[in-house]
Structure 1
Amino acid sequence: MELKPIVIEVDRQKSNLTPVYPGGQVAAGAGLGILGNRGDLESPFSTRAFTSQLAQDQQARSLSDVMINDASVSQTFPRSSYRDVFRIRGFDYFTYNVLLDGMPGMLPKQRIVPQNFERFELLKGPDTFLNGVVVGSAVGGSINVVPKRAQDEPTRRLTLGYSSDAQPSISLDMGQRFGKDNAFGARTNLTFRDGDLAVDDQSERLGSATLGLDYQGDRLRLSADMGYQKSHTENPDWAFRLAPGANVPDAPDSTINLSQDWAGFDSKDYFVAVRGEYDISVVTTGYAKLGYAHTETEGTIAFPSNLQSNGDFSVGGTSFPSGGNHRYAEAGLKNHFDTGPVKHDLVVATSVWDLDLKAGFANLGIGGSSNIYAPVAFAGPASGSELTLDKIGKTTESRFTSVVVADTLGFADDRFLLTLGARSQRIVTKGYNATSGQQKSSYDETRLTPAIGAVWRVRPDISVYGNYAESLQQGPSAPAGTTNAGEVFAPVVSRQVEMGIKYDADKWAGQLAYFAIHEPTGITDAATNHYGLDGEQRNRGVELTLQGELRDDLRVLGGVTVYDAILTGSAGGMVDGNQPIGVPDWQAVLGLEQDIALVSGLSVSGRIIHTGEQYADAANMQKLPDWTRLDIGARYEIDRPDSNPIVLRASVENVLGLNYWSSASTGQVSGISRGAPRTFLISTSFDF
């Protein structure tokens, strides 16, 4: 029985990316942190890797526009805000935890531009073992982006775009290899957009630049990535906090401006990351990574709270600056050897991640009452009254250090793969008063987080897999606006059990998985507005995914996730058995792309996104209705004899103009968020 080759590599460059299914939307494998790249059929975890081609064809403006193609991922903050907040398998995941080729803390902390990256890899389930501890939580999963690298053929691509209401954009992608055997490569991506968005009086200006360099020698491989991003958003949306006991009002018009003209945010991020690996011998490779990143976000929120059944709500002017520095280092050894009939892929590594962060929250004493159906404008804060980063000191100092050992054992010609490993993780965190600089909290916690994964290749095209993983994570922080805002809780441990079956027919693939995740949970008490750890959230679920080319002219990308999620162990059993905030009964995504035979070069597409009913409070008294959104698109390629085709694209998101509450959330971001408005997008790409 002939099996497909297994790819188990760490930190490889362009030549070792997993292959892409026909149609170019999804890859047949993804990176697994310290375990390296693995094909789907050889992975004991559930993963998905979206491509840069998918992002470009769908005209994605943010990482969230890419990740919503998976039914286990949702956006829990308004799309018409200045930042992204994800939920994976029913648990929050913040943008500042997105990994850059396995390195945490390097990327822009509010919104990530897809044009800069080659792959967008989704790992479902706790990832402490694979990637180490993150800021906040990565219980439901994690996202890793792979930077673009220069290809053997030079890249010279210009993309011009336009989105409603009036935001033009331009992106330039240039890359080339040079030197003996094309050993050296350089790739740069530049993106700029500026103008009005689909929400009334809302605008965004964003500039982004990245440079990727690499060297591919016989035994030595080096790479470096640098990036800079700056953005300004006027009148951004925010999540609405419901009044205790209020019914959820009908969603307002998705294009109406619910913010204030004096509200806006500015963000600036830059980073540099270097990597290297050297083949010490035929069986041993050493590697190292170093990275530094700086982030700044300042702005004023028109903070919406006390939302009533009739749409009335309170508006408060608040400042919410945040920023800091991230330093990361990792080094390890990879060993490939046999002990009799058993093959080993052994990895030993150590890492350290230092963070110096500052964050503040100040009520500016302005605002009043408004209504989501008939908003009221208020005077803004006095000039200079806003809280800025230079007015506050360091608020958090953290160091995450770890040592990890993992071995993948291959039996019976790799028909059975067993991965065993553990990561010893230490979290040292100190909290400081932003004004006085006085230390107000600290903890020092060490925990061994084991993991086990197994894959059985039943046939060359079918594998059965399972895993058990634990995740150590920072304790949550009480969110802004609560009575104990800023309080930091001790680290917590989450656990997952997962099993499933995968099928790969070469042109298309599918997967069915069952998972159960247990996490100590934090809840904001609706009556006292006090945030605290209270019990456990247990998310069980079944996932079905489908991707690839069903026939030569038809591509599919989608899936469905069904949840059985409850709260347990709460104080006095008050909410035991209730459904957690923001976790629906089920989510589904179905995207189809069809080539039109009568018109050469023309393809049309459609996507349906559905989210079931979800609760906005732990008592399960405030429920958001289910919603279904329809997106459509078309792509036309104009052939050129001596170059790649000119590509024209047009699409409409939320084509029916649905007004809906998209999600509910708790913790660092608490409230309900309205869905994305109808948005028209056009673009063209051509090589020169």
Structure 2
Amino acid sequence: MRYTLEPDLDNASVGKRKATQGPFEILCPFPRLLVPNASELTMSAFSFRQKFSVLATACALTPAAFADTDDTALPELIITSAPTSSVARSASIGGFSETSLLETPASISVVTQEQMQDRSVRSATDAVKWDASVQNSYNAVGLADWFAIRGFVLDQGANYRKDGLVILAQAMVPMENKERIEVLKGLAGLQAGIASSGGVINYVTKRPTDTPVRSATFEVRERGTVYGAVDVGGRSEDGVFGYRINAAAEDIKSYIDGSTGNRNFISGAFDFQLSPRALLQVDLDYQHKSQLTVPGFQLLGPEQRIPTGIRAKQMLNDQSWSRPVVDDSYNLGLKFNYKLNEHWRTTLQANNSTLHRDDAVTLPSGCQAQGLIVGYCSDGGYSMYDLRRKNDKRSITTTQALLQGSFTTGDIAHDLTTGVSTLNRRDHFADYVFNYVGESNIYDSVYYDNFALTGVNPVHLRRKDEERAIFVQDVMRLTEQLKLHAGIRYVQLKRDQFNSSGMMTRHTDDDFVLPNIALLYNLQPALAVYGAYSEGLEPGGEAPTGTTNAEVIMDPSKSRQIELGVKADITPDINLSAAIFQIKRRNEYVNDNADSTQTYLVNGTQINRGLEFAARGRVTRDWMLGASFTTLQAKAEGTGDERIEGKRVGNVPKFKSAVYSEYIWPGLPTLKLNATWIYSSSKIFAPSNEIAALNKKVEGYHVLNLGASYLAQLGNTATTFRFGVDNVFNKFYWGDTSSAFGGYLIPGAPRVFRLSAQVDF
């Protein structure tokens, strides 16, 4: 019997695809005995990929099932088209609505839900490591995912978005309810307003689908972490109401000795089709996470040597009285779409992001014996502190109203977007309890079991932001091949900062105009080149602990970017992109005062210049290959400070690459093997944004990850088994060399195993 399977064009899990990417035809003998409900493989609970894999598996097993029959020759499996591609073709982060990546004059990468499933992604760090432009900033185990893009550290209260609106990223962002992750590399002043120069990460939430979703995932990994999640969705029979529910629970036993904890998550996304023109969307999520966090390492002695003989599993926060970081995070989003007519539509959107935190760590920092505030003793000794504060509350409420439409003036076609947005931020927190405990050593830990935790400081309002913006963007088709993107955003910011007594310590009241202009030319329908100039608005860095202005946030300032790029869809399964760029912004760092104190200040300009290249697609029917390369020069100029003038910026490799391969086993299309090779060149470790001497150079590294997946038909249930091992050769390397919190070196993960089963029913 011959079966024809059409791709599920409306299934969000595989992205939007053209109808030309199918159909598949499979010729299967004796289907009713092996697959009694074969005709039901079109049932909506299965994605196209699952339908194909289940049917192909059943057909592949047919000869064994009928070994005792009289038939001596059995027809072979016939596939009349290559597997469909999971390459993303569009994203919303480059503008204000879903737009073709080929037609967007910016460097954008997208991680799809299918890719996240295949790679067993459980965190944003797992998801973006295939993009060489993204670098870990301070991704300590037990804390949040924190990144730098194009050499600039992202702001955790400005550069992370959910469905286009700001969310707080000081806590881990859950992946269970995310449809895809979009990464805009470079300035996003027009799209985002206030945001650090590196770029923007946008998490797109899962929405109800026309076809029911019923999926459960179970996983074990590391030293016994147990994870479970469910994904359920669908619509009412009349299509008016849709729902998508995701939930997860995790018993955490990290690869770091003693870093244990737990996590619980639940989310809901609901659609209400109020009329053929009006759609109301609501989404909400809640996450509780508690885990003992893992401090990094500092340099040794006045000579500032990089520690050696360190184990990647080593834990310095392992006192009997150590307390976990406890995060409770909430998000509530509303979105209303109304179609005015065939050419115009309006969107009203709002989101509230709230984080409650109890912060605690047994902090290794400095060396009293050698008078070091930052840095361990020459022999590996360090001073130990009890660092705690309770009842932090941070919240951001954002709104946005858009009017979008198309019209023509003469021979020029316009796609116009105009809108307004608001942001209100409130941070309530206390000063840290900072109690000296005693001395310990990274090579021989000392335990203080009788140390008593004492005192907490009162919580006060410490920061208040009010941001208002008006923006307009016009995409003009000047000819059939040439488009002009022109936009401008006006931003008004009021920010107040307060000390622990409630007294205002800094007031900011300023406005900014952020232009953006780009030309995009289609040399061919599937080949485009572009040039763009944009201005962004830096949120201002926070002065680190130990400086005279500790915890003060610098005033916003403008940044500027020039970018030239090319994009090509070589085939429906292969796309390429490349970009060269230059970004300039004000330089922030810690200086040395005459009285031996240190102050965080703004001085000179940081200039990052780089080249990015990315390619992904099917080399053959069975072999998919992806690659991402970034070369980057980052330095400070115009500072007048010989310590940093013209020197490399910390935690920025000159070259980084990520190569990913996936291979479908011939004759058994339900078995897939994958491999990832990640390389980073050397970096400079620059504590507190100081520029380091040559002896602070951190060597580069190579990391190889391997994995496999197998889709089996167990009764009437499709089950995908996945196995993976990261850092196959158990190589020790310094993953982060961050200047955050005074500067810490963080080891990369050692060899880690994981095994999971995804059941779609």
Q: What is the TM-score when the length of structure 2 is the normalising length? A: 0.83
In the aligned structure 2, how far is the partner of 1:646 from the partner of 1:110? 32
Query: What is the distance in 1 between the residues matched to 2:598 and 2:300?
Result: 12
- Aligned ranges for residues 28-107 of structure 1 at < 5 Å? 28-32=89-93, 34-96=95-157, 97-105=159-167
Q: Would the aligned equivalents of 1:29 and 1:48 in 2 still touch at CA under 8 Å?
A: no
Q: Residues of 2 paired with 1:242 and 1:350: CA distance?
A: 51
Alignment match, 1:147: 205
* C-alpha displacement of 1:602: 1.2
Please give the alpha-carbon distance, in whole angstroms, between the structure 2 residues aligned to 1:572 and 1:192.
Answer: 51
The aligned amino acid for 1:122 is V
Partner residue in 2 for 1:655: 728
1:32-431 to 2 correspondences below 5 Å: 32=93, 34-96=95-157, 97-105=159-167, 109-134=170-195, 138-180=196-238, 182-216=239-273, 217-238=275-296, 240=298, 245-250=303-308, 252-261=310-319, 262-305=322-365, 306-308=375-377, 310-320=379-389, 322-379=392-449, 382-387=452-457, 391-413=458-480, 415-431=481-497
Partner residue in 1 for 2:514: 449
Q: Which residue of 1 aligns with 2:556?
A: 491
CA distance in 1, matches of 2:268, 2:492: 33
Q: Separation in 2 of the partners of 1:519 and 1:503?
A: 31
Q: Which moved more, 1:212-221 or 1:444-453?
A: 212-221
1:323–1:357: 8 Å Cα contact kept in structure 2? yes
Q: Which has the larger radius of gyration?
A: 2
> Structure 1 residues 219 and 28, CA, compared in 2 at 3 Å: closer, same or farther?
same
| Residues 303-312 or 19-28, more deviating | 19-28
Q: For residue 102 of structure 2, give the secondary structure of its aligned residue in structure 1.
A: helix
Structure 1 position 665, deviation (Å): 2.1
Q: Report the CA distance between 1:251 and its aligned residue.
A: 6.0
Give 1:289 deviation, angstroms: 0.7
Kindly report which structure 2 residues correspond to 1:516-665, keeping only aligned pairs within 5 A, or say none: 516-525=582-591, 528-617=597-686, 618-621=690-693, 622-639=696-713, 642=716, 645-665=718-738
Out of 706, 727, 739, the position equivalent to 1:666 is 739
TM-score, reference length from structure 1: 0.92
Give per-residue Cα distances to partners, 1:350-385, cap 9 Å, x unaligned. Answer: 010001112344243233333333333334763452
Shifted more, 628-637 versus 475-484: the winner is 475-484
Identity %: 25
Whole-angstrom CA distance in 2 between matches of 1:230 and 1:381: 28
Tell me the alpha carbon deviations over residues 264-305 of structure 1, each in whole angstroms, 9 at most, x when there is no partner: 200001121100121122222111112222211112122233
Distance 1:371 1:213, change over 3 A: same
Structure having the larger proportion of residues in strand:
1
Name the structure 1 match of 2:579.
513
Determine if contact 1:87/1:140 at 8 Å carries over to the other structure: yes
The amino acid of 1:187's aligned partner reads: R
> Per the alignment, do residues 150 and 251 of structure 1 end up closer, same or farther by CA in structure 2, a change over 3 Å counting?
farther
- CA 1:199 to 1:564, structure 2 compared with 1: closer, same or farther past 3 Å? same
Contact 1:251/1:661 (8 A) holds in 2: no
Shift of the 74–619 alpha-carbon distance from structure 1 to 2, 3 Å rule, reads closer
Distance in 2 (alpha carbons) for counterparts of 1:251 and 1:547: 39
Q: How many correspondences in the alignment?
A: 666
Specify whether residues 432 and 59 from structure 1 end up closer, same or farther in structure 2 by C-alpha distance, changes over 3 A only.
same
Q: In the alignment, residue 427 of structure 2 is paired with which amino acid?
A: L
Distance 2:16 2:509 in 1: 39
SS in structure 2 opposite 1:655? coil
- How big is the shift at 1:221? 1.9
Report if aligned partners of 1:108, 1:229 keep a CA contact under 8 Å in 2: no
Structure 2 distance, partners of 1:257, 1:678, is 16
Structure 1 CA distance for aligned equivalents of residues 708 and 134 of structure 2: 25
Residue 685 (structure 1) aligned with residue 758 (structure 2) = yes
SS at match of 2:550: coil
Q: 1:94 to 1:679 in 2, by over 3 A?
A: farther
Mark the CA change 1:235 to 1:332 in structure 2 (over 3 Å): closer, same or farther: closer
Query: Is the CA contact (8 Å cut-off) linking 2:649 and 2:691 kept in structure 1?
Result: no
CA 595–373 in structure 1, closer or farther in 2 if over 3 Å, else same:
farther
Paired residue type of 1:100: K
Deviation at 1:422, TM superposition (A): 0.6
Gaps of 5+ in 1: 1-11
**Structure 1 residue 95: deviation in Å?**
4.3
Aligned-pair CA distance for 1:480? 2.8
| Other-structure match for 1:432 | 498
Please tell me the residue identity of whatever aligns with 1:27.
A
Query: Compared with structure 1, are the counterparts of its residues 675 and 525 closer, same or farther at alpha carbon in structure 2 (3 Å cutoff)?
Result: farther
SS of alignment partner, residue 437 of structure 1: coil
Question: Residue 114 of structure 1: SS of its match in structure 2?
Answer: coil
Matched to 2:341, the amino acid is: S
8 Å Cα contact 1:463-1:501 kept in structure 2: yes
Letter in 1 for 2:656: Q
The whole-number CA distance in structure 2 between the counterparts of 1:149 and 1:352 is 25
Distance 1:576 1:492 in 2: 21
CA-CA distance at 1:639 after TM superposition: 3.2
Moved more, 578-587 or 480-489: 480-489
Q: Residue 93 of structure 2 contacts residue 202 of structure 2 at CA under 8 Å; is this kept in 1?
A: no
The Cα of 1:490 is off from its aligned counterpart by: 1.5
In structure 2, how many angstroms separate the alpha carbons of the residues matched to 1:61 and 1:374?
A: 34
- Helix, strand or coil: the match of 2:127? helix
Q: Aligned partners of 2:301, 2:548: CA distance in 1, in Å?
A: 16
* Counterpart AA for 2:724: S
Partner of 2:141, secondary structure, is: coil
SS of 1:66's equivalent in the other structure is helix
- The one-letter code of the counterpart of 1:428 is K
Checking the alignment, whether the CA contact within 8 Å between 1:235 and 1:260 is kept in structure 2 is: no
SS for the counterpart of 1:204 is strand
Return 306-315 or 226-235, whichever deviates more: 306-315
Give how far 1:407 is off: 0.4
Superposed CA offset, 1:313-334 (max 9, x none): 3332212554222211111211
Gaps of 5+ in 2: 1-9, 22-82, 366-374
Q: Is the 8 A contact 2:295 2:363 kept in 1?
A: no
SS of 1:130's equivalent in the other structure is helix
CA offsets 1:161-199 (integer angstroms, 9 cap, x no match): 11110110100000011142x242100100110131111
CA distance in 1, matches of 2:84, 2:381: 48
